[in-house]
Amino acid sequence: MNDEEKTRGSNLPDPKEIEKEINEFLANKYGNRIRVMGTQIGPWPGVDETSGGEPIKQDTEPSHIRFDMKPAELHDYLDRFVIRQDLAKEMLSTKICTHFNRIRYFQQILDGFLRSVNERKGVVSARVTAAEPLSPQELKSLEDKLAGITGKTVNVELETDAGLLGGIVVQMGSTVYDGSIRTKLADLKRRLAET
């Protein structure tokens, strides 16, 4: 026999009926300013207690959620709304903070995953910075030369920087090949200063 069948067999009213009756009583006595929510009594959400039950005008701008909260901070925030249930609040706080704080690192996680997949496939990424955009033929020639150097397939990410004055800079992992005119002029200037 479950609780509902026990309740029907006795003269005890259903908890929902009790809640309904209490809410009706409170509505008659105080207007729509107070209601019973389970075992909690408090002001009706969105109603100003001092204005006779008039709805509160809410801001149209959505509130911004902070994703940098620590579990203890979120637990303290939940304490304002949830009575007891400490284990549930601890678990919820930890799970929410872990989830939302991971979002910040999603791009780094994705980049690391793609690097790992490319390593297994024998593909290397190269960031190429040129003084001006390369033609499709120049890009294909560069990809072929880099593939010859590395012995792997090379994905080229092309950027332009007029400050190079001419030539290109290729970065593959921690290795940098600098064939820019800017660097050659800086080397020439340094050597002239040394003599």
Q: What is the pLDDT of residue 168?
A: 93
Check: CB of residue 71 under 8 Å from CB of residue 94.
yes
How many separate domains does the chain show? 2
Q: Indicate whether 96 belongs to any domain.
A: no
The whole-chain average pLDDT of the chain stands at: 78
Q: Where does the pLDDT of residue 2 fall: very low under 50, low under 70, confident under 90, or very high at 90 and above?
A: low
Q: What is the pLDDT of residue 157?
A: 92
The β-bridge relationship of strands 40-43 and 153-160 is unpaired
Tell me the residue ranges of DSSP E strands in 59-149.
Answer: 123-130
- List, for residues 106-157, the tens digit of each pLDDT value: 788 888 888 889 889 989 889 999 999 999 999 999 999 999 988 999 989 9
Residues 88, 90, 95, 96, CA torsion sign: positive
Domain boundary among 31, 48, 63: 63
This model's pTM is above 0.85: no
Other Cβ atoms within 10 Å of 95 Cβ, number: 12
Domain boundary among 63, 85, 113: 63
For residue 134, give the H/E element and its range: none
Q: Indicate whether 32 belongs to any domain.
A: yes
Q: Where does the pLDDT of residue 58 fall: very low under 50, low under 70, confident under 90, or very high at 90 and above?
A: low
Q: Indicate whether 116 belongs to any domain.
A: no
Q: What is the pLDDT of residue 42?
A: 45
| Residues with Cβ within 8 Å of residue 108, at least 6 apart in sequence | none
Q: What is the pLDDT of residue 13?
A: 64
Query: Taking 80 as the threshold, does the pLDDT of residue 57 lie above it?
Result: no
Range of the domain at 145: 122-194
